[in-house]
Structure 1
Amino acid sequence: ANLSGANLTGACLRGANLREEKRMYCAKLRGASLHKADMRGVNLAGADLARVDLSGANLTDATLREVDLSGANLAYANLTNVYLTEANLATVNLRGANLTNAKLERTNLAEAEMSEVNLSGALLSDANLSKVEMSRANLRGARLPRTDLSRANLREANLTDAELVDCYLARADLMDANLTNAIFIRAELSSANLAGALLRGTVMPDGKVHDYD
């Protein structure tokens, strides 16, 4: 089916199976309820999803390029392999969501709630994650070149093998974070809190390798 451009503003689609609705680009779903909906593989490029409820939804392999998800609720949603480039996710709730291997290049996630999120293997190049809440997040093997993480809360986050080259981490809170083998070459860490962080094999901004915790 083709729901491209459809106006579903405020619609109640809780638990709906939309797997067959492969083409939903530019659809208007602002404020809609899609709690636990099955949207695997759906193309929502350019859609208006502001303030939508997608908590617990399955969006595996979905295309969400240039969507507006500002203020949306995606808590505990499955976003594995999702394509979320150049999207607006400011103040979004992604608590406990699974974003394994997701693509979030040039995406705005400023002030998002992302505690306990799984971003292992994800690509977040040139993204805005300023003031984001990412305590206990899993960023193992994630790539975040040139990403803004200023004032981000990364307490107890797992950044093992993560690449943070040229990242801006001024005033970021990395207390008790696992930074094993993480790469911070040319990263800005001024006033960042590294108290209790595990620095084992960590490559610091000056290229020196720290091998202690």
Structure 2
Amino acid sequence: MMLIEETFAPAAALPVALFKEHLRLGSGFSDDGLQDTLLESFLRSALAAIEARTGKALLERTFSWTLTRWRDASMQVLPLGPVSAIVDVTLVDRVGGEIVVDADAYTLRPDMQRPAIVAAGVALPSIPQAGSVKIQMLAGFGPEWGDLPADLAQAVLLLAAHYYEYRHEVQYDGGCMPFGVSALIERYRVMRLTGGGQQ
């Protein structure tokens, strides 16, 4: 299985000005924008870290997910949420030939924790032998920063500020999230109780 981020959050969607206020950086100077690229990189890093911990896409963008077999022939849980649309489903044979599946053959079951693609009939389309299926989906809370739940938005700012504050630190600290960030994102984390079985 392979998940690929097909599109990226545009710079305009990142709250650089809000992040400056959060850091209490001075304003009104001729070099106000000097650190913008650096601040954007910390915001993107914080977004990525929180997405990895929660299994959630924060800002809306397109992802593709390739797998070689369905876990369940009637329904396949998707690897992240929230998913607002299935863009397309493509069957790929062993030599790379592609067939786009008719959208009437499946439907999206929206869910904050376990969104899924569900067969419209008895089963999802058969994956070719030695082939794969690629599911392209639109995932995220929305395209704008204001679409994020307030606690997740605050967690991103706190973690980005932590990265900014300790940007010169090179000693390994175990990779732990600051407690305040962990507390804010805890309710969004996916519980895995099946020990590698069906998700």
Shorter-normalised TM range? under 0.3
Determine which structure has more spread, i.e. the larger CA radius of gyration: 2
- Give the number of the structure whose residues are more often helix, by fraction: 2
Greater relative CO, 1 or 2 (CA 8 Å, sep 6+): 2
TM-score (norm 1): 0.21
- Give the number of the structure whose residues are more often strand, by fraction: 2
